[in-house]
Amino acid sequence: TKWVYSFGDGTAEGQADMRNLLGGKGANLAEMSNIGLPVPPGFTVTTEVCTHYYANEKSYPGELSGQVDEALAKIEDIVGAKFGDTANPLLVSVRSGARASMPGMMDTVLNLGLNDETVEGLAVKSGDARFAYDSYRRFIQMYSNVVLEVEHHLFEELLENKKEEVGAVLDTDLTADDLKALLADYKKLVRDELDEDFPQDPKEQLWGAVGAVFSSWMTHRAVVYRKLHKIPEEWGTAVNVQAMVFGNMGDDCATGVAFTRDPSTGENIFYGEYLVNAQGEDVVAGIRTPQLLTIAAKEGQGSDLPAMEEVMPEVFNQLNDVRLKLERHYVDMQDIEFTVQQGKLFMLQTRNGKRTSQAAIKIACDMVTEGLISQEQAVMRIEPQSLDQILHPRLDPSAERKVIAKGLPASPGAASGIVVFTADDAERRANDGEKVMMVRIETSPEDIHGMHAAQGILTTRGGMTSHAAVVARGMGRPCVSGAGSIQVDYKAKTFTVSGVTVKEGDWITIDGGSGEIMLGQVPTVQPELSGDFGRIMEWADGARRLKVRANAETPEDAATARNFGAEGIGLCRTEHMFFEGDRIVAMREMILAEDEDGRRKALAKILPMQKADFVELFKIMAGLPVTVRLLDPPLHEFLPREKADFDQLAQDLGVPAEKIQQRAAQLHEFNPMLGHRGCRLLNSYPEICEMQARAIFEAAIQVGEETGDQPVCEVMVPLVGIQKELELMRAVIERVAEDVERETGKKPVYQIGTMIELPRAALRATTIAEAAEFFSFGTNDLTQTTFGLSRDDATSFLGSYEKRGILKHDPFATLDKEGVGELIEIAAERGRKTRPGIKLGICGEHGGDPASIDFCEETGLDYVSCSPFRVPIARLAAAQASI
Ligand code: ADP
Ligand code: MG
Ligand code: MG
């Protein structure tokens, strides 16, 4: 078996599509080498070795060591140096690389191959003793930390001591002799900690590092991350061993990271950061403030530090060429890592870059314009969920702002929250229903749960590519990073900036688009849907079959829905209209009435209000279909809960408070979800159905007269389980329609349908369809009733069900295709048999969930209906489902 794949010198044994075998990093190093980019030579130990390692009591295949030796010899040939040679030593890095990039894996070890002898060789060969000792120092520190597990800070302390002792400010102020002395301290530290000397044999070092990569596959952090992201354990990780190039050999050296386009805005400009005379992850680690690549970016951010374009223009141009070549080759925006050694450029990594959804849209559109991808490809490139980000509010431009500091605009969107300083506090207070803003000096993978719980994230250190920035963009959380003027005091739980002290629990607002940090809660406004967004949506609309409607009852929601491209209202929950203003009083009067007459009197008060609501709604929807659901919840939901409210109501209605309490007690249900609600209630009190039908028809006719365009209303009867329930209501509605026609001389245009939200309704769809012109799958209730699971009580154990793999996902968030889905399929099929062409739709949370929308497409439903803000997500998901 071939366990090792070499790359370098313009060729490679692997290539980009071998990511499963070589891991993402290894496959792309091979690919870059193949297309002639300057990649230091190296080799990849395959993921199959990892699998073998765990299947065979942590041992390697017999052929491995021979293949590694051969591959190492190839590197030696290309570089012209020998691993372990005291005069001319080859140094390598050892890098982990799973199929999907994965935090929690072993950190990269650089400068491997150095020991007390080779370091002298390196000093002579490079003519720079300081560089050689510094490299050895870094190596001992990294190797001891990631392979031997000696704590990092112990070395940092020794380094600080040494700096203090000789009066150095920066690491770079230490001389060769200082570093040499420090090396002795480092080695002594290792001996004290481990009772063993730091390994001097380069081969032993190499196999130690390789073993550490494989071991890191099973660390707690890696295991948790895999569970969270559903990465199978069998995948394993690869190990990359690569010849070192040095960004720390002087001022003609540098190291950096870049995106081929701006990952924040998507603009087609080169965006990156670099550090002169630095190595490895110095840029990301926030040790020094990184410098920008281009003059334009430098000026844009008002940075005083010179851009790479100015400092080393030739290398910059070369890097810019690589950028264009990579984009054309991968046909996507790339995230790259590079090092410059004595004026020569080396590429160390490339992968498809993470981006904000705003950037994703702009890049996809631009790439269509540039002829790189098709419109359909552009539509497929946008993660529907990610649209959430750009549909989020911005700061109200006219609002007053008290800006106290400015950092980098790391992830767009505006957010306010109360300040917390730890991830645990963020999570705890968010669970208590508070909006929190997580403030950290910098973040690490341990903070992810807090970042998730927070409205936004503010860090005082780190650039646009820092952990906080990258993770926040991925999550769609607004983030301002590197706000260096802010002093955080974790102990006191405060931060201070320009004379202002902000305490834990104080409100602040951040604008992740500008980097501004403000005191208090600044009001926000809804986003404008820019040109590129419109283009993607247009292409999506051209590709999709499913219609997309919105769940809306208020004029604002309806307007938002239309603005977002809804093609009608799929669910107007009329009961929401009963809570507003004095309507609730009339509603309560109706509920408390002794008899039908009393109820009719109260309903007569509600009728004009309800009619006015429908008039407004129909006008906003201007001819688009509107599905109005008749009263659904149990009556006691409308009664007051607090004693004071009972007394107030008694006063308003002029009845004794005890009477009201008595009625409330009467209406109490043990299991209201399965109780007297929906069409059961309407069948008990048909006058409610009558009033609502009248309000709908009168409103429709009025709007028809005013606008010349009578809306098509769909009257929907909820919670039907028995055909007769629907038939009786149908008779009432039809009678009202005739009455209205007689009174107005105009014929209402309408359809009558039902929700399918009980398993019995799905099973009896054949007969129910006789009385229904449309079905709307109310998948919230259908999920509850199919599982026999109350949504409100399920949270206590659904989480553990997911963790233990009993359920793959929360069935209230993503439709359970197997069970609930089968009922939908049955109902659709039987309904169509009775009434070919019966209109079928879905409303409820699932209508805005891409995976569920995919199912709706497969089942051939006519439309999905979701909350207004999810309409664009649904439009895009529907397009992707049919492409
Ligand atoms: P990560 O997966 O955390 O990004 P990498 O393996 O990419 O880790 O290594 C991190 C950094 O180490 C790289 O960006 C690069 O700067 C440096 N590095 C890795 N290998 C080499 C090498 N052979 N020569 C010089 N620098 C290297
Ligand atoms: Mg790393
Ligand atoms: Mg990397």
Q: Find the ligand nearest to 95 CA.
A: 1
Of all protein residues, whose CA lies closest to atom 6 belonging to ligand 1? 95
Chain-centroid distance of CA 92 in Å reads 36
Q: Is the CB of 282 under 6 A from ligand 1?
A: no
Domain boundaries, the chain: 49-243, 254-371, 392-525, 545-577+608-634+678-882
Q: Find the ligand nearest to 8 CA.
A: 1
For residue 72, with 0-12 CB atoms within 10 Å meaning exposed, 13-18 middle and 19 or more buried, which class applies? buried
pLDDT for the residue numbered 639: 84
pLDDT for the residue numbered 147: 95
Of all protein residues, whose CA lies closest to atom 15 belonging to ligand 1? 280
Of all protein residues, whose CA lies closest to atom 13 belonging to ligand 1? 280
Q: Is the CB of 255 under 6 A from ligand 1?
A: yes
Of all protein residues, whose CA lies closest to atom 26 belonging to ligand 1? 280
Answer whether residue 500 shows pLDDT above 80.
Answer: yes
Of all protein residues, whose CA lies closest to atom 7 belonging to ligand 1? 349
Of all protein residues, whose CA lies closest to atom 9 belonging to ligand 1? 108
Atom of ligand 1 nearest to the CA of 246: 25
Cβ atoms 113, 92 nearer than 8 A: yes
Q: Is the CB of 24 under 6 A from ligand 1?
A: no
pLDDT for the residue numbered 581: 65
Residue 423: pLDDT band by 50, 70, 90 thresholds?
A: very high
Average pLDDT, the chain: 92
Atom of ligand 1 nearest to the CA of 240: 6
Q: Is the CB of 345 under 6 A from ligand 1?
A: no
pLDDT digits (tens, 9 = 90+) for 629-673: 999 999 888 888 778 878 888 888 888 888 888 888 888 888 888
Domain range 545-577+608-634+678-882, CATH architecture:
Alpha-Beta Barrel (3.20)
Q: Is the CB of 349 under 6 A from ligand 1?
A: yes
Of all protein residues, whose CA lies closest to atom 23 belonging to ligand 1? 244
Separation in Å, CA 370 to CA 268, 329, 367: 11, 14, 5
Alpha carbon of 316 to ligand 3 centroid (Å)? 20
Q: What is the 3-state secondary structure (H, E, C) of 13-69?
A: CCCHHHHHHHHHHHHHHHHHHHCCCCCCCEEEECHHHHHHHHHCCCCCCCCHHHHHH
Helix residue ranges, H only, 302-447: 308-311, 313-330, 357-369, 375-381, 387-390, 423-431
Q: Find the ligand nearest to 94 CA.
A: 1
pLDDT for the residue numbered 474: 62
Does residue 562 have a known ligand-binding role?
no
Does residue 260 have a known ligand-binding role?
no
Answer whether residue 397 shows pLDDT above 80.
Answer: no
Q: Is the CB of 280 under 6 A from ligand 1?
A: yes
Does residue 780 have a known ligand-binding role?
yes
Atom of ligand 1 nearest to the CA of 338: 16
The SS3 of residue 784 is helix
Q: Is the CB of 93 under 6 A from ligand 1?
A: yes
Atom of ligand 1 nearest to the CA of 40: 23
Atom of ligand 1 nearest to the CA of 95: 6
Residue 850: pLDDT band by 50, 70, 90 thresholds?
A: very high
Does residue 589 have a known ligand-binding role?
no
pLDDT digits (tens, 9 = 90+) for 247-264: 988 899 999 999 999 998
Fold of 392-525: Glucose Oxidase; domain 1 (3.50.30)
Alpha carbon of 258 to ligand 3 centroid (Å)? 11
Does residue 727 have a known ligand-binding role?
no
Atom of ligand 1 nearest to the CA of 107: 3
pLDDT digits (tens, 9 = 90+) for 311-336: 999 999 999 999 999 999 999 999 99
Q: Is the CB of 341 under 6 A from ligand 1?
A: no
Alpha carbon of 579 to ligand 3 centroid (Å)? 55
Give the predicted TM-score (pTM) of the model.
Answer: 0.79
Exposed e or buried b for every residue in 541-557, given b needs 16+ CB within 10 A? Answer: bebbebbbbbbbbbeeb
Alpha carbon of 708 to ligand 3 centroid (Å)? 64
pLDDT digits (tens, 9 = 90+) for 170-186: 888 899 999 999 999 99
pLDDT for the residue numbered 580: 67
Which amino acid, 622? A
Does residue 97 have a known ligand-binding role?
no
Domain 49-243 homologous superfamily, CATH? ATP-grasp fold, A domain (3.30.1490.20)
pLDDT-wise least confident of 275-284, 466-475, 588-597: 466-475
Alpha carbon of 507 to ligand 2 centroid (Å)? 34
Chain-centroid distance of CA 185 in Å reads 45
Q: How far apart are CA 377 and CA 383, in angstroms?
A: 12
Q: Which residues contact 181 (CB under 8 A, 6 or more apart)?
A: 162
Of all protein residues, whose CA lies closest to atom 8 belonging to ligand 1? 108
Cβ atoms 847, 840 nearer than 8 A: no
Atom of ligand 1 nearest to the CA of 42: 23
Alpha carbon of 477 to ligand 1 centroid (Å)? 28
Assign domain 254-371 one CATH number from 3.30.465.10, 3.30.360.10, 3.30.470.20, 3.20.20.80: 3.30.470.20
Alpha carbon of 465 to ligand 1 centroid (Å)? 15
Beta strands 863-866 and 839-843, pairing class: parallel
Alpha carbon of 701 to ligand 2 centroid (Å)? 66
pLDDT digits (tens, 9 = 90+) for 40-93: 999 999 999 999 999 999 999 999 999 999 999 999 999 999 999 999 999 999
Q: Is the CB of 135 under 6 A from ligand 1?
A: no
Answer whether residue 106 shows pLDDT above 90.
Answer: no
Q: Which of 676, 528, 527 is nearest to 591 (CA)?
A: 676
Cβ atoms 841, 570 nearer than 8 A: yes
Alpha carbon of 185 to ligand 1 centroid (Å)? 26
Does residue 757 have a known ligand-binding role?
yes
Q: Is the CB of 237 under 6 A from ligand 1?
A: no
Active site residues: 467, 843
Residue 528: pLDDT band by 50, 70, 90 thresholds?
A: low
Beta strands 237-243 and 254-259, pairing class: unpaired
Q: How far apart are CA 294 and CA 111, in angstroms?
A: 30
Helix residue ranges, H only, 745-870: 759-763, 765-768, 779-787, 791-803, 820-834, 850-859
